[in-house]
Amino acid sequence: MKTKRTLFLTALLLFVSHAFMAQTYYYNETKTFYENGYTYQCDTDMRTARVTLYNKESKYTYERLVFKDGSDA
């Protein structure tokens, strides 16, 4: 029984890791998308491997989140 469980978890881990690896470098440069009348911007930071996908018309994309009393969110 323990062997079946170990085999199942190993197979599951391999499938999940393969799915994550398939998305590597999908957005490797900053791009602009035009879809259904909206403009989307995809900003990439290769140093941190962070991708920000947002509506380009939004003025709050890179604003700091705060509560009404001014404290950090």
> Cβ distance 50 to 66 under 8 Å?
no
What is the phi-psi region of residue 37: left when phi exceeds 0, alpha when psi lies from -120 to 50, beta otherwise?
Answer: left
pLDDT at 73 over 90: no
Give 20-69 pLDDT, tens digit per residue.
655 556 677 888 989 999 999 999 888 887 888 899 999 888 888 899 99
pLDDT at residue 49 in the model: 77
Chain centre distance of CA 71: 27
Cα separation values, 50 from 1, 24, 36, Å: 41, 11, 26
Note the pTM of the prediction, 2 decimals.
0.52
